[in-house]
């Protein structure tokens, strides 16, 4: 009897592995690295965000634009093919995110980023109007004021042999997203609210660590980790910060109603997201927890991605001085001595937009987008069983010479209309596409254009000798040795 139990325990993992192989038998024609029993390709991927990026880039070159990887009992199909990418992203059926996003749920809840089905559709419909052009126009004041502070802080770094611009931009982006989405000036660039700022950074550090840990990503086992206590404290800080802002905003809103206060100019101005959510709460559409998870989602999505986009654009300009000088000429011709950039100014800076697009091609802020299939289906001639994870490898597609000749060359002219017309529409998707595209992409582009214009106007950005970014995939594309440049004052 004892021997039977022992044999059963020993054989169970192998039986389980055979069942997995049977389940995904329809993917037998999809190439990929040979998996080991039980652990799949987990060891091949490595233990760091850099290892992950290097592995999937290497396999894309070896196996092509569609290949599979086994990670334990999960199968991920890596896709860098525009036709299949279009089939997935344009679908109203394949909208469910993969389990890769689960580790964000303790902070973000089931907000717009993670939710699916009816909840996602209703939230998307509810939140979309907050990104109306007229509301975005109001945010230019915030972009300008926070950008001016960033310029003042960077001015103190002029002349140094190397400056990591990432943390400077990160605090600027955090100030911007908090003031625009919540109507609160947290003054992170001026050293205020350091507890919240550090909590955001520390939570994301733990998120990355758990992503690459076999056992810490399992909640029941993570409780026994030495970092679990600090993790819970971080969540308390993050949630309490947002809740305090919601309570304060609710009280101010109630006071204005009681005192019958109206805007002096007679125009209804919005603190966009939070004000709209509070109005929905009054209409019994949302709970206090619903509001918190949407605000936290936008703080997370709205500062890390734009930080990455701005930082890598600066690096690209440092490495391509002829592009930088052409951009400088455009910027000064449009704004000259004007301190506050307007929407009209941004619309006139066509070359700036092309530069940012090319930076997002080389360094897409979100290098991988994932979906979980809820039904068996055929996409692009492949039979995918239910629960297959489709990993849309945006970084790989953006670096594929088939879609972007000489892909490592920085060339803003790829985005002239006549050049774009030669590419598949889904070969370039830095903000995703289709019904689940980035709801804040216009907001992000306006912010990035404003900040880059101010930096280029005030500084000449130079490369650091022998520096190359150490790229890796976590929640976003990140350089793990900073984003380093040298700064000179413009005459």
Residue 263 pLDDT level (bands cut at 50, 70, 90): very low
Residue 267 pLDDT level (bands cut at 50, 70, 90): very low
pTM confidence score: 0.92
Average pLDDT over residues 49-67: 95
The full DSSP string for 185-224 is ---GGGT-SHHHHHHHHHHHHHHHHHHT-TTTTSHHHHTT
How confident is the model at residue 1, as a pLDDT?
64
* Interval 296-313: pLDDT, tens: 998 888 888 999 999 999
Mean pLDDT is lowest, of 250-254, 378-382, 383-387, for 250-254
Cα distance between residue 411 and residue 203, in whole Å: 36
- What the chain holds in terms of domains, given with CATH numbers, is 2-489 (1.10.630.10)
43-48 contacts, C-beta under 8 A, 24 or more apart? 45/69, 45/71, 47/212, 48/212, 48/472, 48/480
Greater pLDDT, 128 or 489: 489
Cα distance between residue 110 and residue 120, in whole Å: 9
Cα distance between residue 111 and residue 295, in whole Å: 9
From the list 449, 451, 445, 452, the residue with the least C-alpha distance to 430 is: 445
Greater pLDDT, 411 or 205: 411
For 55, the token pair is 């592995």
Which residues lie below 8 Å from residue 321, measured CB to CB, with a gap of 6+? 462
Q: What is the largest CA-CA distance in the chain?
A: 87
Mean pLDDT is lowest, of 161-165, 442-446, 473-477, for 473-477
**Does 236 score more than 70 pLDDT?**
yes
Helix (H, G, I), strand (E, B) or coil at 379: strand
Cα distance between residue 90 and residue 93, in whole Å: 9
Which residues lie below 8 Å from residue 171, measured CB to CB, with a gap of 6+? 188, 189, 197
Q: Percent of the chain, pLDDT > 90?
A: 61
Q: Are 138 and 270 in contact (CB under 8 A)?
A: yes
Cα distance between residue 230 and residue 202, in whole Å: 9
**Does 132 score more than 90 pLDDT?**
no
The full DSSP string for 220-278 is HHHTTSTTHHHHHHHHHHHHHHHHHHHHHHHHHHHHHHHHT---TTS-----HHHHHHH
Cα distance between residue 8 and residue 136, in whole Å: 62
């Amino acid at each position: 009897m004892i021997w039977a139990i022992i044999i059963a325990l020993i054989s169970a993992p192998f039986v389980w592995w055979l069942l997995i192989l049977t389940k995904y038998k329809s993917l037998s024609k999809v190439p990929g690295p040979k998996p080991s029993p039980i652990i799949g390709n987990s060891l091949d991927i490595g233990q760091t965000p850099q290892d992950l990026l290097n592995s999937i880039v290497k396999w894309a070159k070896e196996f092509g634009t569609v290949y599979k990887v086994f990670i334990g009992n999960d199968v991920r199909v890596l896709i860098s093919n525009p036709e299949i990418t279009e089939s997935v992203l344009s679908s109203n059926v394949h909208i469910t995110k993969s389990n890769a996003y689960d580790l964000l749920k303790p902070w973000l809840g089931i907000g717009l980023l993670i939710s699916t089905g009816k909840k996602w559709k209703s939230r998307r419909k509810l939140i979309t109007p907050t990104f109306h052009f007229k509301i975005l126009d109001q945010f230019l004041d915030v972009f300008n004021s926070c950008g001016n502070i960033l310029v003042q802080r960077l001015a103190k770094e002029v002349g140094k042999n190397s400056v990591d611009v990432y943390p400077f931009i990160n605090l600027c982006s955090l100030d911007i997203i908090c003031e625009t989405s919540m109507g609160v000036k947290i003054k992170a660039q001026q050293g205020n609210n350091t507890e919240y700022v550090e909590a955001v950074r520390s939570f994301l550090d733990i998120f990355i660590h758990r992503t690459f840990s076999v056992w810490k990503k399992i909640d029941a086992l993570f409780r026994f980790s030495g970092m679990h206590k600090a993790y819970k404290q971080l969540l308390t800080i993050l949630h309490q910060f947002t809740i305090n802002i919601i309570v304060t905003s609710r009280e101010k809103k109630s006071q204005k109603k009681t005192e019958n206060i109206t805007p002096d100019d007679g125009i209804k101005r919005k603190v966009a997201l939070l004000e709209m959510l509070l109005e929905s709460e009054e209409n019994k559409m949302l709970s206090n927890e619903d509001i918190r998870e949407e605000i936290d989602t936008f703080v997370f999505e709205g500062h890390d991605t734009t930080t990455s986009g701005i930082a890598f654009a600066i690096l690209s300009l440092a490495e391509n001085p002829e592009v930088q000088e052409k951009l400088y000429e455009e910027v000064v011709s449009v704004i000259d001595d004007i301190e506050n950039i307007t929407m009209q100014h941004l619309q006139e800076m066509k070359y700036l937009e092309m530069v940012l697009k090319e930076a997002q091609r080389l360094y897409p802020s979100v290098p991988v987008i994932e979906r979980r299939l809820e039904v068996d289906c055929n996409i692009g001639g492949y039979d995918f069983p239910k629960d297959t994870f489709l990993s849309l490898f945006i970084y790989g597609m953006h670096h594929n010479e088939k879609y972007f000749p000489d892909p490592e060359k920085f060339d803003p002219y790829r985005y002239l209309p006549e050049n774009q017309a030669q590419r598949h529409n889904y070969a370039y998707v830095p903000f995703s596409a289709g019904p689940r595209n980035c709801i804040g992409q216009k907001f992000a582009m306006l912010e990035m254009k404003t900040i880059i214009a101010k930096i280029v106007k005030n500084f000449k950005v130079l490369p650091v000798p022998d520096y190359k970014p150490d790229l890796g995939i976590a929640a976003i594309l990140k350089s793990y040795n900073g984003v380093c440049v040298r700064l000179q004052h413009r005459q």
